[in-house]
Amino acid sequence: MFGKTAFEGDWEEKYVFGPRIEIRGKNITVLWRSSPVLETKFTADKEADGEGRIYLHLENTGMRYVGAASDYASVAELYLKDEKLYFVENFPITGISKTEMVRTSNSRYGDYSIEDKKMLPLLAGRWVSERGGVIEIKKNRLTSSWGFESEIRVLHSNGENLESGRYEIVPFDPGKREIGGFAYVRYEGGVISAPLMIHDAPLVPDIYHKEEK
C-alpha cells in the first residue's frame, strides 16, 4: 500500500544515543544503544484517525536484551506522521514512553565513517606503551598485555577533516563501547593513546609507540 521510501532507512531520536530503528523492506530492527532488542516484520496502513498517521503493525512486539531470558518492554505503537517516526514503548513498571524519531545518516557507530581498509594495515604490528603495556594488532583483532582481546573497527568522525589524522579504535560490535579495560583507544599523530580505567580514579594517559621491525 505504501512505497518503501515512506519508512525505509534509519531513525534515531535527535541528539540522543539510545533508541534506534532500522527499516529495510518489510523488516524492522529496534535497537537500544546500537544493540538489537527486536527483529521482526511489519505491515503498514493508514488509520482513519483524522491525523494522517501511518501505523506499522509488528509481527512481534517484545523487546529483549541479548542474552536475557525475558522481554524488558514491548512496542505499544509505531507510526509515521509528518516525516517523523513515533516510537511508543510499554514498560512493565513505568508504563508508556513515547519517542519522536527522525531519519539519520548515522550508522550504528554514530556519525563516523568506517576506515578499516585504509587504517588496519597501518596499525598492524606491536605497540609498546611508556608504562610497559603492549598492544598487538593483527588484521582486525587487538590484544593487549593487560589480558584484553577484541575484534575492532577503525572510525573517523564525520565532523572532522580526514586530514586531522585522528581515528577511534572501537569494538567491532557497535553495542559495545569499550575495549577491555581501556577508557578509549585512539590513534593520532603516529601513536596510540589507550588509558586504562581505574575505579574512582582519574584517567592516567598512556601512549603506545609502534615497534620497528
* pLDDT tops 50 at residue 65: yes
pLDDT tens, position by position, 113-148: 999 999 999 999 999 998 899 999 999 999 999 888
| pTM summary value | 0.87
Is the pLDDT reported for residue 162 higher than 70?
no
Residue 50 reports pLDDT greater than 70: no
Cell of 133: 603495556
Mean predicted confidence (pLDDT) in 40-50: 83
- Please determine, for residue 1, whether its predicted confidence score (pLDDT) is greater than 60: no
CA 107 centroid distance within chain: 7
Least confident of 75-79, 93-97, 146-150, 190-194: 146-150
- C-alpha torsion angle, residues 142, 143, 144, 150 (rounded to 10): 70
